[in-house]
Structure 1
Amino acid sequence: MKVRAAFLSAVRRFFKEESLCEVTPPCMVQTQVEGGSTLFKMDYYGEEAYLTQSSQLYLETCLPALGDVYCIQESFRAEKSHTRRHLSEYTHIESELAFITFEDLLDHLEKLITKTVQYVLEDPTAGPLVKQLNPGFVAPQMPFKRMEYIHALEWLNENGIPNEEGNPFKFGDDIAEAAERKMTDTIGVPILLTRFPVEIKSFYMKKCADDPRVTESVDVLMPTVGEITGGSMRIEDTEELLAGFKREGIDPKSYYWFIDQRVYGTCPHGGYGLGTERILAWMCNRFTVRDCSLYPRYTGRCKP
């Protein structure tokens, strides 16, 4: 918990240095961000509402008035995943950045992770604790290894690691946690895994200009823990965004406020979400993210 406090302080210090404005979006919402299957539903004065999966859409509305923004907010996922890296409630560090390119986004993520880890290790309380908990921890250095999704499939097939059906990977397959972790641990350095196929990514992700089959998306993978951050450039064209809603079978009616931003003018922008507990599990060498939350919430546990 002391390392966690130092880490969140380091994140805020980094964002202040980068001139980002902290905002506090709502946790009770009526829209989905990461797919309908993981929504916690609730009765909101007779209307159907949900606990938020992500504050991203609200952060995007802030860009025209506030510029680059971030939040440190709880997110909720009703997925019955009994893995080392899943929680039903977790502390989500999210940011949206205006007038950037995909390369700018990748550079920003590298800087965010290296700087915040540096600040934690320099902290007089947290630094020695990280060393005690994880004697072999090596702070990441820029630049991170960059690898495209298609090249990751080649690596997995060359190394005899099958997909979830036990077959060789093919374009369009999701790289499941076990295979992703095996690859990351074997390579042994932080990886920026980029350009995922449209069909396995969210409706709001921008397509690559040179290959419309893939998106300007990135997962940051760390040895021993796997994915700690996911991000992308966001669609800024109204018609392309509506096509994304249609592809995912989402009724755009509830998203009028989000779509209007494109109708009345937007800018190139991108953002990401970072799981606090996953970062801590990596830094402190914890077997599960449950050890990195004060009172972890997961399937079957909502007490004390």
Structure 2
Amino acid sequence: MTDTVAKDTQNISLQELYVSDKQGSDQDGDGTEQNPFKTPLKALIFAGKEPFPTIYVDSQKEGERWAVISKTQMKNVKKLYHREQTKTDTKDQKEAEDAERREKNLEEAKNITIENDTSLPEPKTVKIYQLEPLREQRVKVFGWVHRLRRQGKNLLFIVLRDGTGFLQCVLTDKLCQCYNGLVLSTESTVALYGTVKPVPEGKQVSTDLIETDTEIQSVYMQLQNIPFCIIHCLKCTFLCVVQITPPTLVQTQVEGGSTLFKLDYFGEQAYLTQSSQLYLETCIPALGDTFCIAQSYRAEQSRTRRHLSEYTHIEAECPFMSYEDLLNRLEDLVCDVVDRVLKSPAAALLYDINPDIPEAPERLMTDSINETILLCRFPAEIKSFYMQRCQEDRRLTESVDVLMPNVGEIVGGSMRIWDADELLEGYKREGIDPTPYYWYTDQRKFGSCPHGGYGLGLERFLTWLLNRHHIRDVCLYPRFIQRCRP
């Protein structure tokens, strides 16, 4: 009974279709008088076959809403319809032929067997970074297919990745024609046997055997070396600076209570840390310059391409420095890290992903549009309670943001208040109860000093360095609003 009603309804609806160039839509329309199509061609495609239903279009007469489409217009639309149908049929036929050809090639490829040549020397299983002294020797290398390029039926180029480096491999003849060679794709797990041969740039292994494993298509398995390289270069930049491990569970705020993730901590309210700055400040009297690389959390209701709820935060606090020292240090930090990365083994991958990056980082940041800039001295009303005010204008703070083109802020820093009375005024201005901050306030009472610090968002830095449109492209497991899996 239900099928009969549905069929009758369909027949009724196809007896007439409405088209309106003024109010219709080919994307959202359904051909009814209330929701017409925009073009007559869409109406015929919707109908599917002849005889076509009556097509109503916008009437040219005053006071009349609809009029039956003219015979001339209907004739022209039918020509377009038959032309489109021919294209569709040709395309479908070609796709079917291509699919049949691929299936045939795959079936034939299954008959090609690749066996280990016992006349060749036994291969030595090594990592890519160990290949330099093994030239002209047969080796076995495990890894993932990072890049893949086919050239005809008898040549296949692979860039292999194993976590220690990258290796260019060349597959020829049967290795390209066998089943594993045909279905091989990026992120496949492989074992390659071959002879290492020197080339003008890098290393290349001439392959004589390939073993493959299941292809891994999920983005969470597409690991890159660049984030780890950045962290290594940052640690090299922080040479002679003490690294500490701050707590993640806190009961104080740094950037404002509205962006805190709250949780129950044995009956008391606690938060996931926004920043480890306060804890770093307590360490500088004993340790001097300190830094940390830790996770920070922001409960911001932001759906932009540069916001994450959890991100890697590189923070540092430095005693006995002036505001000018802070600005110079931020410039040196960005330039030195980029310089180190471009000289590291990961540079080739970096240029592959972002070929527009300069050969060497600029040593002087310019305050011009579409260039890296340092935005300085923000008004006190829009900045946090701990920021030192400018001596020449108490309405401003000794603060700075480093802004990168197409990304925005990647580093935020400031001089910190080191006078106890001024810090208490900061608490009062922001409406913060100073009681939980006793340990932080006490630092200003017992041997404080002028000091400043900054925080760098690793994911935003990578977004700029790799020229990615969205910050999630550089994050292994991104966490953002309404997304907390896998």
| Aligned residue among 99, 108, 133 for 2:353 | 133
- Cα separation, 1, equivalents of 2:484 and 2:407: 24
Matched, 1:267 2:449: yes
| Aligned residue among 226, 229, 235 for 1:12 | 235
| Aligned residue among 370, 382, 389 for 1:188 | 370
Matched, 1:37 2:262: no
The residue type paired with residue 123 of structure 1 is S
Secondary structure of the structure 2 residue equivalent to 1:219? strand
Matched, 1:244 2:426: yes
Matched, 1:76 2:305: no
The residue type paired with residue 357 of structure 2 is F
Cα-to-partner distance string for 1:40-81 (whole Å, 9 max, x where unaligned)? 001111110000000000000000000000000000000111
The residue type paired with residue 372 of structure 2 is P
Cα-to-partner distance string for 1:268-291 (whole Å, 9 max, x where unaligned)? 000000000000000001111111
> Residue 136 of structure 1: CA displacement?
0.8
| Aligned residue among 319, 327, 344 for 1:98 | 319
Secondary structure of the structure 1 residue equivalent to 2:238? helix
- Cα separation, 2, equivalents of 1:261 and 1:145: 37
**Match of 2:390?**
208
Structure with the greater relative contact order (CA < 8 A, sep ≥ 6): 1 or 2? Answer: 1
| Aligned residue among 145, 154, 170 for 2:366 | 145
Matched, 1:58 2:240: no
Secondary structure of the structure 1 residue equivalent to 2:473? helix
- Cα separation, 1, equivalents of 2:308 and 2:235: 23
| Aligned residue among 24, 33, 47 for 2:245 | 24
TM-score, length-scaled by structure 2: 0.53
**Match of 1:152?**
none
> Residue 140 of structure 1: CA displacement?
3.2
Number of equivalenced pairs: 262
Aligned residues: CA RMSD = 1.0
**Match of 1:169?**
none
- Cα separation, 1, equivalents of 2:256 and 2:237: 31
Cα-to-partner distance string for 1:146-170 (whole Å, 9 max, x where unaligned)? 5xxxxxxxxxxxxxxxxxxxxxxxx
Cα-to-partner distance string for 1:242-281 (whole Å, 9 max, x where unaligned)? 1111111110000000000001120000000000000000
Contact conserved, 1:31 with 1:254, CA < 8 A, in 2?
yes
The residue type paired with residue 133 of structure 1 is I
Matched, 1:118 2:300: no
For 1:171-182, list aligned pairs within 5 A: none
> Residue 123 of structure 1: CA displacement?
1.1
Contact conserved, 1:42 with 1:49, CA < 8 A, in 2?
yes
Secondary structure of the structure 1 residue equivalent to 2:414? strand
Larger helix proportion of the pair: 1
- Cα separation, 1, equivalents of 2:338 and 2:470: 19
**Match of 2:439?**
257
Contact conserved, 1:97 with 1:269, CA < 8 A, in 2?
yes
Secondary structure of the structure 2 residue equivalent to 1:71? strand
> Residue 145 of structure 1: CA displacement?
2.5
TM-score, length-scaled by structure 1: 0.85
Structure 1: gaps (5+ residues): 147-183
> Residue 196 of structure 1: CA displacement?
0.4
Secondary structure of the structure 2 residue equivalent to 1:25? coil
- Cα separation, 1, equivalents of 2:290 and 2:431: 29
**Match of 2:483?**
301
Contact conserved, 1:140 with 1:190, CA < 8 A, in 2?
no
> Residue 226 of structure 1: CA displacement?
1.3
> Residue 189 of structure 1: CA displacement?
1.8
- Cα separation, 2, equivalents of 1:142 and 1:190: 11
Cα-to-partner distance string for 1:115-154 (whole Å, 9 max, x where unaligned)? 1111111111x211111111111253122135xxxxxxxx
Identity, % of aligned positions: 60
Structure 2: gaps (5+ residues): 1-223
The residue type paired with residue 102 of structure 1 is Y
Secondary structure of the structure 2 residue equivalent to 1:110? helix
Secondary structure of the structure 2 residue equivalent to 1:272? strand
Cα-to-partner distance string for 1:169-202 (whole Å, 9 max, x where unaligned)? xxxxxxxxxxxxxxx7xx1221111010000111
**Match of 2:22?**
none
- Cα separation, 2, equivalents of 1:210 and 1:121: 40
- Cα separation, 2, equivalents of 1:58 and 1:129: 36
- Cα separation, 2, equivalents of 1:242 and 1:290: 39
Secondary structure of the structure 2 residue equivalent to 1:211? coil
The residue type paired with residue 219 of structure 1 is D
